[in-house]
Structure 1
Amino acid sequence: MKKFLYIVLGITGAIVVLANLGSLIGLAFSALLVIGGLHYFLQSHSTLGKVFWATVGIVGLLTAVSNIPAFLGLAAIALIWYAIRKWNGEPVAMKTKSNDPFENFEREWKQITRN
């Protein structure tokens, strides 16, 4: 029964993603406007250039925020990702590595003593 639920979840998510594909492309374009505006704003030395690139970034930000269907598409992509991970039996949480030298030493010591 769980497998059937994951199949239905994945198919529903795929339909929502395909229905919102245009708005997802628009969101990507808005993100490019924001990133480009910020990049050129930081590189600009003139006041007029800074005003222009800040305006470009703000326009990109406003179009991204007003693009609500794209956020539904992103939620559907997350839903598909969740369904695939659960279908394969993989944990949904991401593994993070610690930079603590003691934890790294303990992990390496466990691997050495197993062999």
Structure 2
Amino acid sequence: MKKFGLLLVGVIAFFVLLANIGPLLGLALSLVVSYYAVKEFMKTDSTANKVLWGIIGLIAIGFSIANVPAVLGLVAAYILYLVYKNWNKTKDTIIESKESSDPFTNFEKEWNALTNK
């Protein structure tokens, strides 16, 4: 049942990610342009160039704000990662019985396993 739930969540997350590929690419491109505009703005000494890079930076930030649905795509990608990570995970339960708590019994089992090889 756990695998079915993981599969269902994974399929839904995949389709959400697929639907948000465009906004993800737009967000990535606008963030790269914004970074480059800020970098060039800080580098230049000319007032005209500062105004030009400032306008380019504001336009790129506007495009970044317009691509806010890409955040859903990022969340879907993270959910897909968690589904992939937890797919074959098993519960680690340690059950100690009276027999296994005796160190000499465990030693005998291990010694027999080593000598029988």
Q: Which runs of 5+ in 2 are unaligned?
A: 90-117
Q: 2:30: which partner in 1?
A: 30
Is 1:13 matched with 2:13?
yes
Number of equivalences: 89
Cα deviation 1:29-73 (Å, max 9, x = unaligned): 111111111111121111111111122112111211121321211
Rg larger in structure:
2
Structure 1 letter corresponding to 2:76: A
C-alpha distance 54-3 of structure 1, shift in aligned 2 (>3 A): same
TM-score by length of 1: 0.69
Q: 2:67: which partner in 1?
A: 67
By how many angstroms is 1:9 displaced?
1.3
Q: 1:2: which partner in 2?
A: 2
By how many angstroms is 1:88 displaced?
4.5
Q: Give the superposed CA RMSD.
A: 1.5
Structure 1 letter corresponding to 2:46: S
Counterpart of 1:38 in 2: which secondary structure?
helix
Q: 2:45: which partner in 1?
A: 45
Identity %: 35
Structure 1 letter corresponding to 2:55: T
By how many angstroms is 1:17 displaced?
1.1
